[in-house]
Amino acid sequence: MTEREKILGRVREALTLSAPMPGAHHGEHQPSTFTFNGRPVQVAQQWLPDGGATVAEQLERFNIASIELKTDFHVVPSLAVANVVLATLRDGCGWKKIAAHHGPLTDAAVTALGLPTLFTDAGYSPVEMETCDAGISGCDALVAQTGSVIVTNQSAGGRALSVLPPHHVVLARQDQLVRDLTEGYALIQRLYAPKYPSMISVITGPSRTGDIERILVLGAHGPKKLTVICIANP
């Protein structure tokens, strides 16, 4: 008998006795007034923090979340204006070299920036990426509810581009903005199921830690800066 069979056998044996439903314990004086019955999570959506009903509300939520998270968030009308924002970052932060991947938005940005660029698409050296000042990537979605960016290794140039360089710049189309995580995961399923990329990451703000006296420090391991440029008409 394999270890798998042994463990699953013990689990099956254990489950022959049934357990009370949550909230049905003795002493629970406030029985739940709602029935969830497990599925679907769209039902739970109404109880979580709201992401806003309209695009304007959602942009506002994303913006408020970004301020708190210290995400550098820009909404721009066009690629041309996005390139202006990028040029300002390049000059302001003194970028000498960047890492990026090929894609409609990133290609335009890389051309406009005119810096030496490490492309990740066909494989790359992590030691070389370590010398890049910024990583420029696309994404799959922006989540209004939480101020998050959803990336996969397909949409964002692999696993490391969005986390190894000290500054991560995300280029997004405004139509990628979704209300909340529930819609974000639904979108991921529509885009990829059943052949999902091997990494799907929900990024919320720049890397952070509170491990020293619960004091917030940015850039613990991942990027110290996260810039999100949301382009209305790319």
Partner 1 sequence: MTITLFIPCFVDSLFPNVGISMVRILERLGHRVVCPEDVACCGQPAFNSGYWPEARLVAEPVLNRLKDSEAVVIASGSCGAMLKVFYPQLFAGLPQEAAAKHLSDQVWEFSDFLVNKLGITDLGARFPAKVTFHDGCHGLRELGIKTGPRRLLEKVQGLEFVEMADCETCCGFGGTFAAKFPMISTAMGEVKCTNATATGADYIVSNDSSCLMHLQGLLSRQTSAVKTIHLAEVLVQQ
Partner 2 sequence: MTSAYSEFVSQARRITKDLRHRGLIQTALRKYETARDRKKSAYQDWQAARQAAAETKWDAINHLDTYLAEFADKLESRGTKVHWASTAEQARNIILGIIQGKKARSIIKSKAMTAEEIHLNDAMEKAGFEVVESDLGEYIVQLRHEPPYHIVFPAMHLTRGDISELFQRELGSEPTNEPEELTMIARRALRQKYLQADIGITGANFAVAETGMVSITENEGNARLTAALPKTMISLLGIEKILPKMEDLALFLPMLATAGAGQTITCYNTMYGGPRQAGECDGPEEWHVVLLDNRRSELLADPEQRDALHCIRCGACLNVCPIFRNVGGHTYGTTYSGPIGSVITPHLRGLQDWKHLSGSSSLCGACTEACPVKIDLHHHLLHNRRNASVQQPSAIERLAYRGFAFLINRPGLYLFAKEMGRLLDPLRRMVQGTVLDPIKPWTATRDLPPVANESFKEWWRNRK
Distance CA 76, CA 124 (A): 31
Tokens 């929900």, residue located:
202
Taking CB under 8 A as the criterion, which residues in 39-68 touch partner 2? Answer: 39-50, 65
Taking CB under 8 A as the criterion, which residues in 6-35 touch partner 2? Answer: 6-8, 10-15, 17-23, 25-28, 30, 32, 34
Q: How far apart are the first and last CA of the chain?
A: 58
Distance CA 232, CA 76 (A): 6
Give the one entry of partner 1, partner 2, none that residue 44 binds, where binding means its C-beta sits below a cut-off of 5 to 8 angstroms depending on kind. Answer: partner 2
Taking CB under 8 A as the criterion, which residues in 143-162 touch partner 1? Answer: none
190 counts as binding partner 1 under rule CB under 8 A: no
Taking CB under 8 A as the criterion, which residues in 19-58 touch partner 1? Answer: 26-27, 29-30
Which of 77, 107, 217, 233: binder of partner 2 (CB under 8 A)?
Answer: 217
Distance CA 178, CA 84 (A): 26
By rule CB under 8 A, what string of x and - marks binding of each residue 127-146 to partner 2? x--x---------------x
Q: Give the count of beta carbons closer than 10 Å to the beta carbon of residue 4.
A: 8
Which of 117, 153, 155, 227: binder of partner 2 (CB under 8 A)?
Answer: 153
> CB of residue 121 vs partner 1: minimum separation in angstroms?
55
If the CB atoms of residues 30 and 35 are measured against partner 1, the closer one turns out to be 30
Distance CA 183, CA 166 (A): 30
If the CB atoms of residues 26 and 195 are measured against partner 1, the closer one turns out to be 26
If the CB atoms of residues 29 and 221 are measured against partner 1, the closer one turns out to be 29
Q: Give the count of beta carbons closer than 10 Å to the beta carbon of residue 143.
A: 28
Residue type for position 70: K
Angle among Cα 49, 230, 189 to the nearest 5 degrees reads: 60
Distance CA 183, CA 144 (A): 10
206 counts as binding partner 2 under rule CB under 8 A: yes
